[in-house]
A and B are shown apart, each in its own frame.
Chain A
Amino acid sequence: MAIDPQPEAVTAEGPGADFPSAPAGVSAEGHGPWYLAFKRFTRNRVAVAFLGLFILIVVFVLAAPLWADHVAHTGPNKTHTLEKLHVGDEVREVVTPEGRPIGPQWFEADGKFFLGADSRLGRDEMVRLMYGGRTSLLVGIGSALITTAMAILLGLLSGYFRGWVDTVIARTLDVLWSLPVFLVGLALGVALAVGGLKIGPLEIAGGSLWIPVIVISVFTVPYIARPIRGEVLALSEKEFVEAAIAQGAGPLRVMFSEILPNLASTVIVFFTLTIANNMLFEAGLSFLGAGVQPPNSSWGTMISIGEELLTTQPLLAIIPGVMILLTVLSLNIVGDGLRDALDPRSKIRLEAHAGMVEPKGSSV
């Protein structure tokens, strides 16, 4: 059994705490919980659509070199300050002598400067958008992976061993939790961008992408570790864990092969939502200059560059913002959809969508 369907939680919707739940009846017919969750997810058309959107975005940023080499014929950091663009008989300056970058050309110049130039440096905005998206997604996913791994480890140790281990970990998480994470992240980002980082033999230069990844993952750990710890605390009192211990399973086996599989649904949901959250974190840091450092760019740094030209070229700030919105939105909706699919209580909400019942219990 991979997820514990908690029949009480299901029947809590109905008035009787004692009539059997529908999922119990359905799963009795032989479908595993993962199959049911998959079916429930695919039935959620909004979530499936946004999953498609997210995949499109990933494809879009992966295609960056193709567009750069074959359409725009330039790189993300290549400046074209003094160049001129030949559109038909017309000659357009990439950057005017007053320092105003060219606006979107769409396909007029065969795809060059599709979205115009980014600033007085005359870099191709479209190419930067695609490469910047790579950075944003890379930092978001990378930091979410690290965050989740650390959170699982801390949550398992804390919830399983309890005692002083739990006290130390829980207090540390409390301190992190009560920190103004963005501000401290900003401070750490700036301090590291100036000096780089050295942990033992590992040395990371100030401009490395690892800096924002590490800063973001450390400060978002409590958001996942806390719920996981709570769940481990509850799970370790369940009979199957006691049974495993009674059979002589050691702590490692209990933690990783008994408890961890039961955390799968929580971890999957939180991982998805954490990518979204971390991408916003990265964009914020980068917007303030404390995240991704030049020559790398991300959507956050592009907004901060574009914002200076808001009145003349509003799209320069708005388009990367829209990209962040679409990515984060699709991840949040997919995450919500996964939670609904993996949490049996969501059955009630599905029915609500079908107009059958007035839901009395549902997740966020």
Chain B
Amino acid sequence: MSPSAPILAVRDLRVGFATEGGLVQAVDGVNFELRPGEVLAIVGESGSGKSVTAQTIIGLTRSSNARIEGSVELDGEELIDASDATMRQLRGERIGMVFQDPMTSFNPVYRIGSQIVEAIRAHRGDVGKDEARARVVELFDSVGIPNAERRVDDYPHEFSGGMRQRAMIAMALALEPEVLIADEPTTALDVTIQAQILALLGELNRKRDLATILITHDLGVVAEVADRVLVMYAGKVVEKGTLDEIFYDPQHPYTWGLLGSLTRLDRPRPKRLPQISGSPPSLLALPDGCAFRPRCPHEFAKCTELPDLRERITDAPGHCDRCWLDPEEKRAKRQVEGQIGLEAPA
């Protein structure tokens, strides 16, 4: 990895929403840096705050009931308190975004091509309609949409899910942004299509030196393309490290659980499909200390105190986690039936 300057730096980001039941702290202290050409994966279950983090970066969570604190710097420029007009100019132009569900992310009443033309002309007023359309055809070619010349005039419902997601990526890249945020880009797609879209994202990332944030709940997706991984749980980062560190030396029991529930074709089939028991806590009623405590089979007295996110193993700078267990103890406890996993509660 080249030690170039980070294009995006998120520091102590906190996002809360006022609701009927009280303040929901959806994101609680997230830190990361992202360099050009790097793919950062943010992993977690629904409600972990990963999507809110991503949408806060481009200012889509701003509303009167949102409390946003901390810092998001794009190439040294602070975005948290930037004006709405500034944010609008950044969106699409410098940060492209791909959303989860390509079925609903295009406006059904306009032709796909014209929706991308709209994106281009929103930032480049001097680009004529024909010129913009030609650019869309080029983009379609580059993301692998066949018959691009004809398909730009199709309506969204005439596209298949995978093709729509390609068009979505084309739209996100239309203005050659420096950062691409892909929020669950493959979740709504068939498995075979998922692989194609991931390959496309990986290829674009290399070719264009894009800084990419990939948001997903699926570690399998992460394994394919990510350089570094951030694991989130209940609004907090519980572990972060390089892809290899997270996959081969995971420190947090929640990460073990995520890894354990991956179906691995290269290993003997487990007796039963492992899963993490219980469900994520309500953000309105978080337990004291470690939020994962109620679901963790390795809970002990110290867990009622909130562990900080820091390096807990030697020889691995930058590999941080939030678990009180001793690293050696962890290495023993995460072995379930010969592979990494979270043992079922007694």
Q: Do chains A and B touch in the complex (CB under 8 A)?
A: yes
Complex interface: chain B residues within 8 A of A358 (CB): 63-65
Residue B198 lies at the interface, judged by CB distance under 8 Å to chain A: no
Asked whether B282 lies within 8 Å of A25 as measured between CB atoms, the reply is yes
CA distance A356 to B64 in the complex (A): 8
* A15-57 Cβ-contact flags toward B at 8 Å (1 or 0): 1111111111110110000000000000000000000000000
Residue B285 lies at the interface, judged by CB distance under 8 Å to chain A: yes
Given A25-B283, A25-B285, is A18 in contact with B63 using a C-beta cutoff of 8 Å?
Answer: no
Given A25-B283, A357-B18, is A17 in contact with B100 using a C-beta cutoff of 8 Å?
Answer: yes
Asked whether A25 lies within 8 Å of B284 as measured between CB atoms, the reply is yes
Given A15-B61, A17-B51, is A22 in contact with B46 using a C-beta cutoff of 8 Å?
Answer: no
User: For B21, B22, B52, which residue has the most chain A Cβ atoms within 10 angstroms?
Assistant: B21
Given A351-B65, A357-B65, A360-B63, is A22 in contact with B20 using a C-beta cutoff of 8 Å?
Answer: yes
Asked whether A15 lies within 8 Å of B52 as measured between CB atoms, the reply is yes
Residue B280 lies at the interface, judged by CB distance under 8 Å to chain A: yes
Asked whether B20 lies within 8 Å of A351 as measured between CB atoms, the reply is yes
Complex interface: chain A residues within 8 A of B52 (CB): 14-16, 18-19
Complex interface: chain B residues within 8 A of A350 (CB): 20
Complex interface: chain B residues within 8 A of A100 (CB): none
Asked whether B65 lies within 8 Å of A16 as measured between CB atoms, the reply is no
Asked whether B65 lies within 8 Å of A19 as measured between CB atoms, the reply is no
In the assembled complex, how far is the CB of residue A2 from the closest CB belonging to chain B, in whole angstroms? 20
CA distance A273 to B66 in the complex (A): 36
Asked whether A16 lies within 8 Å of B20 as measured between CB atoms, the reply is no
Asked whether B50 lies within 8 Å of A18 as measured between CB atoms, the reply is yes
Asked whether A20 lies within 8 Å of B47 as measured between CB atoms, the reply is yes
In the assembled complex, how far is the CB of residue B215 from the closest CB belonging to chain A, in whole angstroms? 9
In the assembled complex, how far is the CB of residue B105 from the closest CB belonging to chain A, in whole angstroms? 12
CA distance A303 to B313 in the complex (A): 87
Find the A residue at minimum CB distance from B46.
A18
In the assembled complex, how far is the CB of residue A11 from the closest CB belonging to chain B, in whole angstroms? 9
Asked whether A22 lies within 8 Å of B63 as measured between CB atoms, the reply is no
Within 8 A of A (CB), among B5-25: 17-22, 24
Residue B196 lies at the interface, judged by CB distance under 8 Å to chain A: no
Complex interface: chain A residues within 8 A of B205 (CB): none
In the assembled complex, how far is the CB of residue B130 from the closest CB belonging to chain A, in whole angstroms? 36
Complex interface: chain B residues within 8 A of A25 (CB): 21, 282-285
Given A15-B55, A347-B20, A351-B19, is A20 in contact with B63 using a C-beta cutoff of 8 Å?
Answer: no
Residue B48 lies at the interface, judged by CB distance under 8 Å to chain A: yes
Find the A residue at minimum CB distance from B45.
A18
Residue B49 lies at the interface, judged by CB distance under 8 Å to chain A: yes
Q: How many residues of chain A get a CB closer than 8 Å to chain B's CBs? A: 22
CA distance A358 to B17 in the complex (A): 12
Asked whether B51 lies within 8 Å of A18 as measured between CB atoms, the reply is yes
Residue B170 lies at the interface, judged by CB distance under 8 Å to chain A: no
- Which of B17, B21, B46, B280 is close to A14, meaning CB atoms less than 8 Å apart? B17
* B272-289 Cβ-contact flags toward A at 8 Å (1 or 0): 000000001011110000
Complex interface: chain B residues within 8 A of A357 (CB): 18, 63-65
- Which of B50, B66, B282 is close to A24, meaning CB atoms less than 8 Å apart? B282
Residue B199 lies at the interface, judged by CB distance under 8 Å to chain A: no
Asked whether A16 lies within 8 Å of B282 as measured between CB atoms, the reply is no
Residue B60 lies at the interface, judged by CB distance under 8 Å to chain A: yes
Complex interface: chain A residues within 8 A of B19 (CB): 21-22, 347, 351
Asked whether A26 lies within 8 Å of B24 as measured between CB atoms, the reply is no
* A324-360 Cβ-contact flags toward B at 8 Å (1 or 0): 0000000000000000000000010011000011101
In the assembled complex, how far is the CB of residue B270 from the closest CB belonging to chain A, in whole angstroms? 25
In the assembled complex, how far is the CB of residue B273 from the closest CB belonging to chain A, in whole angstroms? 18
Complex interface: chain B residues within 8 A of A14 (CB): 17, 26, 52, 61, 63, 65-66
Find the B residue at minimum CB distance from A347.
B20
Complex interface: chain B residues within 8 A of A347 (CB): 19-20
Given A15-B55, A20-B283, A358-B64, is A26 in contact with B21 using a C-beta cutoff of 8 Å?
Answer: yes
Asked whether A16 lies within 8 Å of B55 as measured between CB atoms, the reply is yes
Given A19-B24, A25-B282, is A356 in contact with B51 using a C-beta cutoff of 8 Å?
Answer: no
Given A351-B20, A358-B65, is A18 in contact with B283 using a C-beta cutoff of 8 Å?
Answer: no
CA distance A18 to B24 in the complex (A): 12
List 20 additional contacts besides A14-B26, A351-B20; criterion CB under 8 Å.
A15-B63, A15-B66, A16-B52, A16-B61, A17-B51, A18-B46, A19-B26, A19-B47, A19-B52, A19-B283, A20-B46, A20-B282, A22-B19, A24-B282, A25-B21, A25-B283, A28-B285, A351-B18, A357-B65, A358-B65
- Which of A28, A351, A356 is close to B282, meaning CB atoms less than 8 Å apart? A28
Find the B residue at minimum CB distance from A14.
B17
Find the B residue at minimum CB distance from A355.
B64
CA distance A263 to B55 in the complex (A): 35
Complex interface: chain A residues within 8 A of B282 (CB): 20, 24-25, 28
Complex interface: chain A residues within 8 A of B64 (CB): 356-358
Asked whether A18 lies within 8 Å of B48 as measured between CB atoms, the reply is yes
Given A356-B18, A357-B63, A360-B63, is A22 in contact with B51 using a C-beta cutoff of 8 Å?
Answer: no
CA distance A358 to B65 in the complex (A): 7
CA distance A17 to B60 in the complex (A): 12
Complex interface: chain A residues within 8 A of B26 (CB): 14, 16, 19
CA distance A280 to B13 in the complex (A): 56
Within 8 A of B (CB), among A274-312: none
Asked whether B60 lies within 8 Å of A22 as measured between CB atoms, the reply is no
CA distance A360 to B19 in the complex (A): 13
CA distance A25 to B25 in the complex (A): 13
Find the B residue at minimum CB distance from A20.
B47
Complex interface: chain A residues within 8 A of B50 (CB): 18
Of the A-B pairs whose beta carbons lie under 8 Å apart in the complex, a sample of 19, sorted by A's number, is: A14-B66, A15-B51, A15-B52, A16-B26, A16-B52, A17-B51, A18-B46, A18-B51, A19-B26, A21-B19, A23-B20, A23-B21, A25-B282, A25-B285, A26-B284, A28-B282, A29-B285, A351-B20, A358-B65
CA distance A120 to B26 in the complex (A): 73
CA distance A24 to B22 in the complex (A): 13
Complex interface: chain A residues within 8 A of B18 (CB): 351, 356-357
* B52-70 Cβ-contact flags toward A at 8 Å (1 or 0): 1001100011011110000
